[in-house]
Amino acid sequence: MTREPDQPSLLESIGAHVVLILAVIFALYPVLWVIALAFSGSRPPVAEMVPLPHDATLAHFQEVVSTTKATPDGSIWLFARQLVNSLVVSIATAAVGIIIAVPTAYALARFKFLGKERGVRALLATQMFPTVASLIPLYLLLDRLHLLDSRTGLVVCYAATSVPFAIFQLRAAFEAIPVDLEEAAMVDGATRFEAFLRVVLPAARPAIAVTALFAFMSAYNEFILAATLLSKAEMFTLPIVLQSYINQYDTRNDLFAAGAILVSVPVMALFYVAQRHLVAGLTAGGVKG
């Protein structure tokens, strides 16, 4: 048997697989526990080497999903409300972030203008403060604006934190797109804006998808801001709901685990759909012309 010069030897191949398998176990072991806890009935696993569900049941999922709250206008389905809150806030955050970051990043990548470098540095500086540092000012600001306990308020805060990162990521993506492409489009009859719309944006699509996904996920997973700015259960996003199962007086690991799995489903679905884009985004740089 002959082998290509860049193909690993059997020994290298085994070594690589061992490392990868260990990494997968390391990443998946906690998830295994979550699954075991979520599906276990009366006797949840406690200290076993390989956690497996006991008396498999879907009762915990049912309990998590069927939460309701009585209001003067009747009872509302709490879990559905909170899921919608999470999705709406995350999608809006991604959308607002992309809408602001795309033109900004493009301008930074292509044009020279006064204060450009300082502006970039200022953006970078905003990334250095932990969210907690701005928690109280944000609370006071949103209070003034009557945006506490609202999705809009949360989206504004999330977008503000996701935009700088999105700008940096997209700027690099736009810089990687050859200027020739736009120039060719302009010679072909496009205005600068048409060239941007019809050539640059499609070429940057993988990077934009990755950036949007990232903004979506950070909003979807965010806890501290949401916990501070939201106080009504019907306005909660899912991370707060999860946290509520583990409180001072009552620790419901089973509900927490079931909730965690439910919360992960949309993200997993999103990853599955965006997979092709993500891979393209990571390899697109090698294409010339």
Q: What is the 3-state secondary structure (H, E, C) of 121-158?
A: HHHHHHCCCCHHHHHHHHHHHHHHCCCCCCHHHHHHHH
Q: Of 96, 155, 163, 203, which one interacts with another protein (CB under 8 A)? A: 203
The Cα 29–Cα 125 span in angstroms is 37
- Using DSSP, state whether 74 is helix, strand or coil: strand
Site string for another protein, 265-284 (x = CB under 8 A): -------------------x
Q: Of 143, 176, 183, 231, which one interacts with another protein (CB under 8 A)? A: 183
Q: What residues contact residue 215 under an 8 Å CB cut-off, 6+ apart?
A: 93, 94, 97, 98, 158, 159, 162, 165, 166
Per CB under 8 A, the segment of 9-17, 100-108, 185-193, 226-234 that binds another protein is 185-193
* Near another protein in 120-179, by CB under 8 A: 178
Is 80 among the residues that bind another protein (CB under 8 A)?
no
Between vectors from CA 31 to CA 25 and to CA 32, what angle results, nearest 5°? 75
**DSSP H helical segments within 69-115, as ranges?**
78-110
Is 202 among the residues that bind another protein (CB under 8 A)?
yes
Q: Of 35, 102, 108, 185, which one interacts with another protein (CB under 8 A)? A: 185
How many residues sit close enough to another protein to count as binding (CB under 8 A)? Answer: 22
Question: Phi then psi for 69, rounded to 5 degrees?
Answer: -140, 135
In residues, how long is the chain? 289
Token output for 239: 């991370």
Is 191 among the residues that bind another protein (CB under 8 A)?
yes
By beta-carbon proximity to another protein, the closer residue of 135 and 280 is: 280
Site string for another protein, 225-264 (x = CB under 8 A): ----------------------------------------
By beta-carbon proximity to another protein, the closer residue of 143 and 188 is: 188
Q: Which residues bind another protein (CB under 8 A)?
A: 178, 180-181, 183-191, 194, 198-199, 202-203, 205, 284, 287-289
